Amino acid sequence: MANRPVLPSIALSSFMSIPLFLLFLLIPQTIALNRYSCQYPTRNPLSGCPPNTLVVGPTAKFKTIQSAILSLPHNNSSYTILILPGNYTEQMNITRAGPVTLLGQTALPDNLTHNTVNVIWHQATGTATTGTLDNAFTSTLTIAPTLNASLTGSGPTGNTVPADTPFGNSDFRAYNLNFINDYLPYSAGPSLALSMSYANGGFYYCGFYSYQDTVRLMPLLPSPPKTVTRGILLTRSRLV
C-alpha cells in the first residue's frame, strides 16, 4: 500500500507511481493560454493569466474552489481558475458545459511532486460504519451534467441514466492539483477522488489518492450498454 500524502506539506515522491496514458479520445493539447506565466507565483496572481481568470485563496475573493466554480455563467465561454497554494477541504462539482481550466499555482509546473494545492475530502460508503450512500456522493471531484448522470448504482448494469441526458463539460482541464479522499488510512468502502461522466477532460501533473475506488469513469446507458464519457486524458499524473 502506498504511503499517504503528508499534509500540509506535500511529499509525493514516496508514492507508488502507476504511469497513466488512458486515452479514449485524444483531446487537443494546444492551449490558448500560457499556463506557465499564469501559474508562476507573482506579487499579482493574475499577472500573465488570460481573460476570465478567477483566483482562489485565503486572501482572495473566493476562499473555496467550489464557490468560484458556482460563480461561472452557464454558457460556452472559457474560464480559468487559478488556485493559490494550500489545503482545500471541500467537494467540487463541475456541471457547466463551457470549458473550465483549473490551475494550481506552482513554480515547477512540469513536476507533480512539487504541487502546492491539495483538494481534500473525507468520505466513504458501503459499510455498516459509513452507510449506503451512492459512491458518487463520496467523490472529491465530480464532473457530470446532472446528479443522475454521476450515480454509480448497483448490480451489473449500474445506474440507469435517461437517454435524453445532456452532455456535460466540453473541455475540462486540471493542472498541478492533488485530489485526495482520505476518509481513513485504509480501505473502508468506496471513497472516490474523481468521478467523471458525460464530459471531456484532461488531467496534467495531477495526483489522485484514495484507498478504494479512487477514480470512476463512464457510466453505462440502457441496452445496448455503451460508454458515454467522450474523452479523458491523464498524462504525467499519478493514481494511488
Per-residue pLDDT of the chain (240 residues; tens, 9 = 90+): 344 444 433 333 323 233 333 333 333 344 434 899 999 999 999 999 999 999 999 999 999 999 999 999 999 999 999 999 999 999 999 999 999 999 999 999 999 999 999 999 998 898 888 888 888 889 999 999 988 888 887 655 677 777 888 889 999 999 999 999 998 887 888 889 999 988 999 999 999 999 888 888 865 444 333 333 344 556 565 666
User: Which residues, 6 or more positions from 216, have their beta carbon under 8 angstroms from its beta carbon?
Assistant: 135, 136, 139, 152, 192, 194, 195, 196
Q: What are phi and psi of 29, to 5 degrees?
A: -95, 0
**Which of these, 54, 48, 116, lies nearest to 82 by C-alpha position?**
54
79-137 pLDDT, tens digit each: 999 999 999 999 999 999 999 999 999 999 999 999 999 999 998 898 888 888 888 88
Burial (Cβ within 10 Å: 0-12, 13-18, ≥19) of residue 192: buried
Sequence ranges of the domains in the chain: 35-239
User: Helix, strand, or coil here: 130?
Assistant: coil
Record the pTM: 0.80
- Grid look-up 514516496 returns 14
**CATH number for the domain whose boundaries are 35-239:** 2.160.20.10
**How many other CB atoms are there within 10 angstroms of residue 65's CB atom?**
22
Structural contact between residues 162 and 103, judged by C-beta atoms closer than 8 angstroms = no
**How many other CB atoms are there within 10 angstroms of residue 24's CB atom?**
14
